[in-house]
Amino acid sequence: MIPPAFDYAAPTSLSDALALLSQNPEAKVLAGGHSLIPALKFRMASPALLVDINKVAGLAYLREAGGWLAIGAMTREADLDRSALVREKYPLLADTARMIADPLVRNLATIGGNLAHADPANDHPATMLAYRAEVTAQGPAGARTIPIADFFTGPFTTSLAANEILTEIRLPARRAGDGGCYLKIERKVGDYATAAVAVQINVNAAGVCTSAGLALTNLGLTAIRCAAAEAALVGQPLDEAAIKAAAQRAAQAAEPVSDYRGSEAYKRSLVTTLTVRALRTALERARR
Amino acid sequence: MSTHHIKLTLNGETKEADVPARLLLVHLIREVFNLTGTHIGCDTTSCGACTVILNGRPVKACTVLAVQADGAAVQTVEGLAQGGQLHPIQEGFHQCHGLQCGFCTPGMLLTSAAFLAEHPNPSDDEIRWAISGNLCRCTGYMNIVKAVQYAAEKMRAASAQPAAAD
Ligand SMILES: Cc1cc2nc3c(=O)[nH]c(=O)nc-3n(C[C@H](O)[C@H](O)[C@H](O)COP(=O)(O)OP(=O)(O)OC[C@H]3O[C@@H](n4cnc5c(N)ncnc54)[C@H](O)[C@@H]3O)c2cc1C
Ligand code: FES
Ligand code: FES
């Protein structure tokens, strides 16, 4: 399949990339290309210009600073998966990166592209909602911070302006008692989720849950944050009763539709089961 | 549509071409450089038949633009054998019956070679995980995993040799 005709530019600085976007309203950023190039081949997108940001230096990194884990938008899934820091301290992120697509796709796919694409089937959006992440968008007028809760505005749409580039994603740095887990049911390696659940909790020394983030992938028009399920956990001792109550509320928050991946009822029941399992694992990790 | 002059290393050789922006890397390799060992299977990023090694990492060449390979090092199946000697991974597929029709084989070989370069002593599970983006529709994976283990053993033995000679 041959993509439609487009112009291509590979600027080496962020300011040049931003200028190209501002001068060409029909331009699109090219990151890992693993959502955009398939969309071009299927002729679902026909941008006049691709602004390839792979040659812009300094957009791929992982560093802890100022109470955050900062992740450069061009960081590849494979590099998240390989990072000892991520594996040891950010298990929810590690689980997520490992479940995305397949190893070949992960060598190019970027975390920034995954969020900017805002496919309700993408895995990072739910994870970032559970982490209470924030992102930096760079535009012609400078940088602005967008809390992740304000980022996804609909399927395949975000609060990024057409001339902005997502440059950084920040998660709260790990504190004592933090634990997280991402569980995804897929039909085969490389498939999008039939259902997936992201949880990030904190438990204190007494075993009481002090904070909880819980969100769902591919169970609605965007990733869904389950505020009611979170509320069922915070302030409670994290026992089986609390876990089951939260799982029930998560299933209520899901908005699945029947399709070739499963019926509405099947997906909703997956949410219950996955939430229970993810919370148990997150708790185990929080205690380590 | 813009056209770009690109320069890359293909199997160690410097190559240049003028490419239209929308040309895919797999078409550059097959139709401009005439190396047809890189296959097109699904053309939708699913099967891995088009796998090449781009700057050390296996990727699906049906989902990379040719112009993106400007300045890059690309390796295809044609670059595996050296000086008339099969690469251990090729020998493994030969010895362990790791192929039938051969359509998936170039991708399997390259993914496995890149994996073994970083994991000299893999478990069967790790091999299955590593090749999970490459589909084989006729051999089945048992012999492919055996072939990768064969190559791993051979490569370990070869890298142990100079140490033993000390
Ligand atoms: C076979 C296959 C299976 C997959 N399976 C999964 C899966 O299971 N789970 C999953 O989550 N994803 C999956 N994906 C999608 C993959 O993770 C994509 O790579 C990801 O959705 C987009 O990231 P990218 O870097 O490739 O972005 P691109 O494809 O380059 O860009 C995607 C969109 O985001 C915009 N964009 C990208 N980066 C930025 C930025 N920094 N600032 C502003 N805009 C930007 C682009 O303009 C474009 O509109 C799969 C893809 C394939 C091909
Ligand atoms: S042809 Fe590229 S993945 Fe199938
Ligand atoms: S050998 Fe035929 S598809 Fe793998």
Specify the 3-state DSSP secondary structure of B19: strand
CB-CB under 8 Å, A101 with B68: no
Q: Are residues A187 and A272 in the same domain?
A: yes
Question: DSSP letter string over chain A?
Answer: --PPP-EEE--SSHHHHHHHHHH-TTEEEESS-TTHHHHHHTTS---SEEEE-TTSTT---EEEETTEEEEETT-BHHHHHH-HHHHHH-HHHHHHHHHSS-HHHHTT-BHHHHHHH--TT-SHHHHHHHHT-EEEEEETTEEEEEEGGGTEEETTEES--TT-EEEEEEEEPP-TTEEEEEEEE-SSTTPPPSEEEEEEEEE-TTSBEEEEEEEEESSSSS-EE-HHHHHHHTTSB--HHHHHHHHHHHHHH-----BTTB-HHHHHHHHHHHHHHHHHHHHHHHH-
ipTM: 0.96
How many structural domains does chain A have?
3
CB-CB under 8 Å, B43 with A8: no
- Per the CB < 8 A criterion, the answer to whether B51 and B60 are in contact is yes
- Which CATH number belongs to the domain containing residue A270 in this structure? 3.30.390.50
Q: Examine residue A240 and state whether it is found in any structural domain, yes or no.
A: yes
Q: Examine residue A21 and state whether it is found in any structural domain, yes or no.
A: yes
Q: Find the mean pLDDT for residues A89-99.
A: 98
Contacts of A142 (CB under 8 A, 6+ apart): none
pLDDT of A226 > 60? The answer is yes
Q: Are residues A127 and A218 in the same domain?
A: no
Which residues of B fall within a CB distance of 8 Å from A7? 1-2, 21
Q: Are residues A117 and A145 in the same domain?
A: yes
Q: Round to whole Å and give the CA distance between A110 and A61.
A: 11
Tokens 């790790």 -> residue: B126
Q: Examine residue A183 and state whether it is found in any structural domain, yes or no.
A: yes
- For position B163, what pLDDT does the model report? 58
Which residues of B fall within a CB distance of 8 Å from A38? 44-45, 63
Q: Are residues A263 and A187 in the same domain?
A: yes
Q: Find the mean pLDDT for residues A201-207.
A: 96
- For position A288, what pLDDT does the model report? 84
- pTM given for the model: 0.97
pLDDT of B166 > 60? The answer is no
Q: Which residue of B has its CA nearest to A53?
A: B68
pLDDT band at A236 (very low <50, low <70, confident <90, very high): very high
Q: Examine residue A57 and state whether it is found in any structural domain, yes or no.
A: no
Q: Are residues A198 and A278 in the same domain?
A: yes
Domain that holds residue A198: 178-283
| A33–B contact, CB cutoff 8 A | yes
Q: Which residue of A has its CA nearest to B53?
A: A104
Burial-class residue A66 by CB neighbours within 10 Å (0-12, 13-18, 19+).
Answer: exposed
d(CA A112, ligand 3 centre) in Å: 35
On the CB side of B126, CA atoms within 13 Å amount to 12
Contacts of B142 (CB under 8 A, 6+ apart): none
CB-CB under 8 Å, A1 with B132: no
Contacts of B84 (CB under 8 A, 6+ apart): none
Q: Find the mean pLDDT for residues A160-175.
A: 98
Q: What is the pLDDT of residues B100-132, one digit of tens each?
A: 999 999 999 999 999 999 999 999 999 999 999
- For position A173, what pLDDT does the model report? 98
Q: Are residues A213 and A233 in the same domain?
A: yes
pLDDT of A168 > 90? The answer is yes
Q: Examine residue A212 and state whether it is found in any structural domain, yes or no.
A: yes
For residue B161, give how far its alpha carbon lies from the nearest alpha carbon of chain A (Å): 30
- For position B161, what pLDDT does the model report? 78
Q: Round to whole Å and give the CA distance between B166 and A80.
A: 39
- Which CATH number belongs to the domain containing residue A116 in this structure? 3.30.465.10
- Per the CB < 8 A criterion, the answer to whether A59 and A76 are in contact is no
Which residues of B fall within a CB distance of 8 Å from A33? 63-65, 68
pLDDT of B69 > 60? The answer is yes
Q: Are residues A236 and A201 in the same domain?
A: yes
Q: Are residues A39 and A66 in the same domain?
A: no
- Which CATH number belongs to the domain containing residue A43 in this structure? 3.30.43.10
Q: Round to whole Å and give the CA distance between A168 and A172.
A: 13
pLDDT of A11 > 70? The answer is yes
User: If you average pLDDT over every residue of chain B, what do you get?
Assistant: 96
d(CA A264, ligand 1 centre) in Å: 26
Q: Find the mean pLDDT for residues A197-217.
A: 97
pLDDT band at A51 (very low <50, low <70, confident <90, very high): very high
Q: Find the mean pLDDT for residues A173-201.
A: 97
d(CA A33, ligand 3 centre) in Å: 27
Ramachandran quadrant class, A5 (left: phi over 0; alpha: psi -120 to 50; beta: rest): beta
pLDDT of A164 > 60? The answer is yes
Spatial CA neighbour of B8 closest among B76, B79, B72: B72
pLDDT band at B164 (very low <50, low <70, confident <90, very high): low
The answer, yes or no, to whether any atom of ligand 1 lies below 6 A from the CB of B45, is yes
Q: For each of the domains in chain B, give its residue range(s) and CATH number, in order of start.
A: 3-79 (3.10.20.30), 88-158 (1.10.150.120)
Closest residue (by CA) to atom 3 of ligand 2? B45
Q: How far is CA A190 from the centre of its chain?
A: 16
Q: Examine residue A288 and state whether it is found in any structural domain, yes or no.
A: no
The answer, yes or no, to whether any atom of ligand 1 lies below 6 A from the CB of A112, is yes
Specify the 3-state DSSP secondary structure of B27: helix
Strands A178-185 and A152-154 come out as: unpaired
Q: Which of A142, A172, A202 is the last residue of a domain?
A: A172
